[in-house]
């Protein structure tokens, strides 16, 4: 036991015990707190404890085992603020950037209180001279880590464990989703508590949502360049705390209160049978490139945590476009990622993860490697391997576009689905064959690796890009508010403004835009695979043509609940219910296209494609570049799935008629062997008339519209 000498102004008398090297971070056990920090570069590590008035007490951690510095202090309780100072070599040319004048965030902090106040002191060099060294003390301008209370009454909480095939994912931003909702108490809008408010849960349930995918909630930093412009990093893809829910989304003012509020949100969503998926950013951190600040890992062990340029370690490999890439070659960087994932599953009860720029995690050396160590660790981990794992299967480095190439237990954001469906409905030529692949689960991308349709997370809209309403209202991006002369954001959006750029009073243009939004929603929800809706698209949300709202924490990006398109919302609910009611739209296996014998409906295939005149599609039809219309038969008796009792799944059969042409087209329904009659149940051009059509009859599908018919006896 060691008696700690207090810093000037501190009245705290502390004892210091050796403690343990595991677990890393600050761990409260009811008697005191164990502190443990990895650094192979360190020569000495000081734990810095902060009183409520900012008084700092420095404690030299007494033990080091396997490069983990550790100590236990009795009577340190939840709410205690802390940070670290790491003494060691400052030699940027060799990848070493220790500087004890910089207070550092614990990479394993479970809560962080406060924001970064951008100041020269946060940087280890002097502005204007990147080769100099700056020794200004940064503590006053740094947020503080917080010791948390790990205890929480989960009650009977259980993960919903929805099958992928039965899932509807809803991508949402905690603040943007809830900030203006009139039925949510003002004091909790924009917070975790608001996401789990009964009116929000009711909305999600009415839409058939089974999982909410939250944009980054790990503690993140607002970029200084944005702050200088009066903007902020609204999206949050600038992580600095992989185990800490960001306090900015908490209505609980107590230090560490964000942890309790986040857990309460998860518990409430689980009670409503809704899963929680987190968008996680393990590919880079907020410390940026060699010109960035020293906030955490850079000052703890720069070469261990970051992928440096081999022949000049002053610089960072950047596969993310943000200045640095996490070093997945190093065991402690990998341990941090895996410990973070396990923590969010076991302690925070989340149900899965969407990995931002996931290709970066496969870059052990330079090229993307599907057998990289990270994927091997996930594969064998008994906790992480059992939750939903969704890859954004690309990064900005060479060979980074890896749609279809992730390991078997992974699902992927299917960027090819987005592009193909957008092209089809805006009338681009030569899209029929690829549209058919996307509609049926993208077998061309996933079947060769023994994956199934659910490997495809289908989406037309995500946070990055136009909203659904803007997709049909703008040909060009309008990002002037971002302060980059409209040079930021994607310029090739595969959008179509329906004849007028932006808002218009033209009733024909507005009617067409409404129809196009319904086309996209119906296509998305009735495709094989897992549909993902971007928050507000079911409501007609607009960002005024801004397709890169990453820096707009304001009315541009927040849902305006007062302008809800109630007709569009009701349509989305109807089609989502249709999907939920009929397993033929959420098959667990790919279509074969082969006759099914006695298992099938009179020996019919599980799927058949028709031209509008009712003849089966030929190779020539698929290759017709000008064709923009087709019809597909889905055999409800040809589903090769079993229910929970081992009984074969049998469903109704359906016809889906797609017309992306600018004029109405008459579709001839198939012969009696497919069905005696057909009833129109969805029509994106109008309210479907309750009429039944005989086999071989003609059904008119409006210009740029989609019709769904259900088979009768």
Where are the chain's structural domains?
25-147, 607-712
Phi, psi at residue 280, to the nearest 5°?
-115, 145
State the alpha helices, DSSP H only, in 426-537. Answer: 432-439, 443-446, 468-471, 507-526
CA distance 355 to 278: 8
Tokens for 253, please give them: 């003012």
Of the candidates 279, 233, 180, 237, the one whose C-alpha atom is nearest the C-alpha of residue 553 is: 233
CA distance 275 to 205: 12
Cα distances (angstroms) measured from residue 273 to each of 162, 352, 404:
9, 14, 30
Whether 36 and 297 have beta carbons less than 8 Å apart is answered as no
Of the candidates 635, 651, 634, 633, the one whose C-alpha atom is nearest the C-alpha of residue 643 is: 651
Computed on alpha carbons and rounded to an integer, the radius of gyration of the chain in Å comes to 28
Domain 607-712, CATH = 2.60.40.1180
Tokens for 472, please give them: 């049909």
Tokens for 178, please give them: 């809830």
Task: List Cβ neighbours of 582 (8 Å cut-off, separation of 6 or more).
Answer: 636, 651, 652, 654
CA distance 47 to 36: 9
Over the chain (713 residues), the average pLDDT of each successive run of 10 is 47 83 97 98 98 96 97 97 98 97 98 96 94 96 97 97 97 98 98 98 98 98 92 96 98 96 98 98 95 97 96 93 91 96 98 92 62 85 97 82 87 96 93 94 93 97 98 98 96 97 98 98 98 98 98 98 97 98 96 70 86 95 88 94 79 97 97 95 86 95 97 84
Tokens for 54, please give them: 């900012």
Element spanning 50, H or E = strand 44-50
Q: Give the side-chain half-sphere CA count within 13 A for 60.
A: 8
Whether 202 and 183 have beta carbons less than 8 Å apart is answered as no
Report the DSSP pairing between strands 56-60 and 14-16.
Answer: unpaired
Q: Would you say the CATH fold of 607-712 matches that of 25-147?
A: yes
DSSP states of 194-242: HHTSHHHHHHHHHTT--EEEE---EEE---HHHHHTT----S---EEEE
Whether 539 and 566 have beta carbons less than 8 Å apart is answered as no
Other CB atoms within 10 A of residue 224 CB: 17
Cα distances (angstroms) measured from residue 91 to each of 85, 98, 107, 305:
17, 8, 22, 16
List strand residue ranges (DSSP E) for 411-473, in order: 411-413, 456-458
pLDDT (tens digit per residue) in 308-350: 999 999 999 998 889 999 998 899 999 999 999 999 999 999 9
pLDDT of residue 156: 96
pLDDT (tens digit per residue) in 237-271: 999 999 999 999 999 999 999 999 999 999 999 99
Whether 656 and 680 have beta carbons less than 8 Å apart is answered as no
Task: List Cβ neighbours of 636 (8 Å cut-off, separation of 6 or more).
Answer: 582, 584, 601, 650, 651, 652, 653, 654, 711
Tokens for 328, please give them: 């997945």
pLDDT of residue 5: 46
Whether 85 and 145 have beta carbons less than 8 Å apart is answered as no
Whether 490 and 465 have beta carbons less than 8 Å apart is answered as yes
Report the DSSP pairing between strands 211-214 and 169-172.
Answer: parallel
Report the DSSP pairing between strands 456-458 and 411-413.
Answer: parallel
Of the candidates 332, 336, 340, 405, the one whose C-alpha atom is nearest the C-alpha of residue 367 is: 405
Report the DSSP pairing between strands 629-634 and 677-683.
Answer: unpaired
Whether 243 and 340 have beta carbons less than 8 Å apart is answered as yes
Residue 640's Cα: distance from chain center in Å?
31
Other CB atoms within 10 A of residue 161 CB: 11
Peptide bond into 406 cis (omega under 30): no
pLDDT of residue 398: 78
- Class of residue 472 by CB neighbours under 10 A (exposed 0-12, middle 13-18, buried 19+): buried
- Class of residue 526 by CB neighbours under 10 A (exposed 0-12, middle 13-18, buried 19+): buried
Cα distances (angstroms) measured from residue 126 to each of 133, 660, 692:
6, 59, 77
CA distance 412 to 343: 23
Catalytic residues: 356, 392
Task: List Cβ neighbours of 431 (8 Å cut-off, separation of 6 or more).
Answer: 420, 423, 424, 628
Whether 320 and 432 have beta carbons less than 8 Å apart is answered as no
pLDDT of residue 599: 46
Of the candidates 420, 434, 417, 424, the one whose C-alpha atom is nearest the C-alpha of residue 628 is: 424
pLDDT of residue 364: 57
Domain 25-147 - what CATH class?
mainly beta
């Amino acid at each position: 036991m060691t008696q700690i000498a207090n810093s000037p102004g501190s009245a705290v008398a502390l004892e210091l015990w050796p403690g343990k090297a595991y677990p890393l971070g600050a761990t409260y056990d009811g008697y005191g707190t164990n502190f443990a920090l990895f650094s192979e570069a360190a020569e000495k590590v000081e734990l810095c404890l902060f009183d409520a008035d900012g008084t700092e007490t420095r404690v030299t951690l007494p033990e080091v085992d396997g490069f983990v510095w550790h100590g236990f202090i009795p009577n340190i309780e939840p709410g205690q603020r802390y940070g670290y100072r790491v003494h060691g070599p400052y030699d940027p040319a060799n990848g070493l950037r220790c500087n004890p004048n910089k207070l550092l965030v614990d990479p394993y902090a479970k809560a962080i209180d406060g924001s970064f106040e951008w100041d020269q002191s946060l940087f280890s060099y002097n502005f204007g001279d990147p080769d100099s060294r700056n020794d200004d003390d940064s503590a006053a301008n740094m947020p503080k880590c917080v010791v948390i209370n790990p205890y929480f009454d989960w009650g009977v909480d259980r993960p919903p464990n929805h099958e992928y095939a039965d899932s509807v994912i809803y991508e949402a931003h905690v603040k943007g989703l809830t900030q203006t909702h009139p039925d949510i108490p003002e004091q909790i809008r924009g917070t975790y508590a608001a996401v789990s408010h009964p009116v929000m849960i009711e909305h999600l349930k009415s839409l058939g949502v089974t999982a909410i995918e939250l944009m980054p909630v790990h503690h993140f930093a607002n970029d200084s360049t944005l702050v200088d412009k009066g903007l902020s990093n609204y999206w949050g893809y600038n992580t600095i705390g992989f185990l800490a829910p960001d306090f900015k989304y908490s209505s609980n003012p107590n230090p560490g209160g964000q942890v309790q509020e986040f857990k309460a949100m998860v518990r409430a969503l689980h009670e409503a049978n809704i899963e929680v998926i987190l968008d996680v950013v393990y590919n880079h951190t907020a410390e940026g490139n060699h010109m960035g600040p020293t906030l955490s890992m850079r000052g703890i062990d720069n070469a261990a945590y970051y992928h440096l340029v081999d022949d000049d370690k002053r610089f960072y490999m950047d596969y993310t476009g943000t200045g640095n890439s996490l070093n997945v070659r190093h065991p402690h960087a990998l341990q941090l990622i895996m410990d973070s994932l396990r923590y969010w599953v076991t302690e925070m009860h989340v149900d899965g993860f969407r990995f931002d720029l996931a290709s970066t995690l496969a870059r052990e050396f330079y090229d993307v490697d599907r057998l990289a160590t990270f994927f091997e660790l996930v594969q064998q981990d008994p906790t992480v391997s059992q939750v939903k794992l969704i890859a954004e299967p690309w990064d900005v480095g060479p060979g980074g576009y890896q749609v279809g190439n992730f390991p078997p237990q992974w699902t992927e954001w299917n960027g090819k689905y987005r592009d193909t469906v957008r092209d089809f409905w805006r009338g681009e030529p030569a899209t029929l064959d690829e549209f058919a692949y996307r509609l049926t689960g993208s077998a061309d991308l996933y079947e060769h690796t023994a994956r199934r349709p659910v490997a495809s997370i289908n989406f037309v809209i995500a946070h990055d890009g136009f909203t659904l309403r803007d997709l049909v209202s703008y040909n060009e991006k309008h990002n002037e508010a971002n302060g980059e002369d409209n040079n930021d954001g994607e310029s090739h959006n595969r959008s179509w403004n329906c004849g007028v750029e932006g808002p218009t009073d033209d009733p024909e243009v507005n009617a067409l835009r409404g129809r196009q939004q319904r086309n996209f929603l119906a296509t998305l929800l009735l495709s094989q695979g897992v549909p993902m809706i971007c928050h507000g698209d079911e409501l007609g949300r607009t960002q005024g043509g801004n397709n890169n709202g990453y820096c707009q924490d304001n009315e541009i990006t927040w849902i305006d609940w007062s302008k809800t398109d109630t007709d569009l919302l009701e349509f989305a609910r109807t089609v989502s219910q249709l999907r939920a009611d009929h397993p033929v739209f959420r098959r667990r296996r790919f279509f074969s296209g082969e006759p099914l014998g006695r298992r099938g409906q009179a020996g019919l295939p599980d799927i058949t494609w028709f031209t509008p005149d009712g003849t089966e599609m030929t190779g020539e039809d698929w290759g017709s570049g000008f064709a923009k219309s087709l019809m597909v038969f889905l055999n409800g008796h040809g589903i090769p799935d079993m229910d929970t009792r081992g009984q074969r799944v049998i469903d109704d059969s359906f016809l889906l008629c797609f017309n992306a042409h600018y004029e109405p087209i008459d579709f001839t329904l198939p012969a009696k062997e497919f069905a005696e009659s057909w009833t129109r149940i969805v029509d994106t051009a109008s309210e479907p008339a309750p009429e039944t059509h005989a086999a071989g009859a003609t059904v008119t599908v409006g210009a740029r519209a989609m019709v769904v018919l259900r088979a009768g006896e």
